[in-house]
Amino acid sequence: MSELGHAFALSSAFIVKLCRVVSVPFSHLAWIKCLLAVSTVAVYTFQISPIRAQSARTYSTNFPLTENPISERGVWQHRGTSWAKVRTVVNRAVGTQTGSGGYDDSYAYLSGFGPNQTAQATLSKDPAIRIDSIICNIWRRLRGTYCGGPHEVELLLRFADSETSARGYECNLSWDGTYAEIVRWNGPYGDFTYITKQRTFHSGIMPPNNGDIFKATISGSTINVYLNKNDGMGDQLIVTGTDPTYADGNPGMGFFIQGSVDPTRFGFSSYTASSD
């Protein structure tokens, strides 16, 4: 129940009790007039509560279903035909890119959120991802061929799309902690602008580990990105930036790989989004 709804419930209960006491010595007309006060409170409450509901919303999931693409009963959206989709498997959300499609990031987003948003996810990182990287480097040296590349998770803010366009803010994190970035998607496929590229971090923050909490917020034009190592240090800021381009849109998630990279090695095991 909303705060206003709770307040109304308390107010109406109190007024009904009061009416019973006050109207006993008087006529039924006094009872009716007293009850009209309850109606006034009700009308006032339900007139203003939807205004707050337009901005305040929360959605949380640990991906209990196996879906390709992710839907969760229609909650997640993806309309862009040039980009890959997100799927869920064994309580994880991962991308579906092949690694050869260019900047066709996998993405999915929610709806109905206000502009000041928070998105956070628990990282799911397979230890085998490091072995894959070592094997790839050996193969590259022996054969001189490119076998792997970036593998990142993304939190999306103020995101919106159509069949031919996808725009919003991407906050990404590399699997090995070599970079974290804030990127603005400008709409057309392959059209994006870097807002902040972060390559250096405080000692002990990187690389990200399985179970770490990846978090991004936007308020006004300021975007902050955090990593929580579950070490008692709380949310540690890893990258920040400002951009006034988009004032609306919704939170979401994304994934990106290039080359012969297994997309299931790095993903999310839970996700929460909220707006105030």
Tens of pLDDT, residues 161-194: 999 999 999 999 999 999 999 999 999 999 999 9
The 10s digit of each residue's pLDDT in 245-275 is 999 999 999 999 998 889 999 999 999 999 9
Q: Could you tell me which CATH number the domain at 57-275 has?
A: 2.60.120.560
**Cα–Cα distance for residue pair 108/130, rounded to 1 Å:** 27
Domain ranges, ordered by start, for the chain: 3-53, 57-275
Cis omega (within 30 of 0) for bond into 263: no
Q: What is the pTM of this model?
A: 0.78
Q: 130: number of CA atoms within 13 Å, CB side? A: 8
Cis omega (within 30 of 0) for bond into 207: yes
Distances (CA, A) of 68 to 29, 72, 201: 63, 10, 35
